[in-house]
Amino acid sequence: MKNIYGCRLEDLEEFFLSISSRKFHALQLFSWLYDKRITSFSEITDMKKDDLEKLEQSFSLERLKIVDVQEDKDVLKYLFELFDGEHIEAVLMKHDYGNSICISSQVGCNMGCRFCESGRRKKVRNLEAYEMVLQLLMIEAMLGERISHVVVMGIGEPFDNYDELIRFLEIINHPKGLAIGARHITVSTCGIVPKILEFSDFPLQINLAISLHAPNNELRNQLMPINKAYPLEQLIPAVQTYVEKTNRRVTFEYILLKDFNDSVSCAEELSHLLKNINCYVNLIPYNETNNFEFKRTNTVQIMRFYDILKKNRMNVTIRKEFGGKISAACGQLRSKKEEL
């Protein structure tokens, strides 16, 4: 049985037409699902009994299971158990501009970035759209507050699950769905060039972030296997094409790793690499784990790197650090659960 939370409005319109009912019931159903937040089709009061019976026969309203929640200042990390027993995680961050959630798009990840806990345990499968939507719905329900911003940057490479990602984005952005503004949604990729180019034709004004983490191929090859398939000579032009077609600014994420990519020369090289792109750089202090050799760059070095980019007229921010007292790194909570 199909889970209803993976259906776009047009999917439900087709369903109602297929049962010889009225197309407008799809909008009514969206309102019951995402405004009134029903947990049973029997709660619907403005549809015929026959239609409700066919809904119950065709769709499930089943939710995921939250098996662990860890909390630190302004951050909550949730571990979900899926219907097949696999685990994913999502992180809720409280900002002055609202609540932001970082969600997973796959169970595990095959990209193999050397600093990333998510890739240490290989991809089991892609998430379906409903499994992504339910991460938002269930955390909103527990929190009792609206989530205003969404980042697809948790476990998995979103562009390695492109079709379900697009379905998810359309559902959460729809004004009768979760109504999250396109410019409040960000998708992060490690650099799958063909999908960056395809995404440039996607009509919604979704933000794009590139996990860069190195200013040259030599260092990036050591960190990110994807760079051997799509080196900077292909990645940077693809991003430039994206910016030109969409007229949107791109974010480059750069995790600072002590004595690896945090030198003065790296900062200068990064400034040169990105100088002609409408972008800003998000410097990320590293969340250390016991499973990798990399260490966090100290605050003095972070500020030195930041100052060099600023001097070179780059738009740059330093990401606020969350979750220092919990399993903060992406995939860390899942790994602990799976390795028990």
Q: Which positions are annotated as active-site residues?
A: 89, 330
Which residue from 197, 168, 29 is spatially nearest to 106, judged by alpha carbons?
Answer: 168
Which residue from 287, 290, 285, 284 is spatially nearest to 335, judged by alpha carbons?
Answer: 290
C-alpha 18/C-alpha 16 separation (Å) is: 5
C-alpha 47/C-alpha 54 separation (Å) is: 11
Give me the helix-helix angle, 25-34 and 9-18, nearest 10°.
Answer: 130
Cα 184 from chain centre: 12
C-alpha 192/C-alpha 200 separation (Å) is: 13
Provide the β-strand partners of residue 65: 81
Q: In what order do the strands lie in the sheet with 207-211?
A: 65-72, 75-81, 87-95, 98-103, 149-152, 185-189, 207-211, 250-256, 279-285, 316-318
Pairing of strands 98-103, 87-95: antiparallel
For 322, the token pair is 């969350």
C-alpha 27/C-alpha 21 separation (Å) is: 13
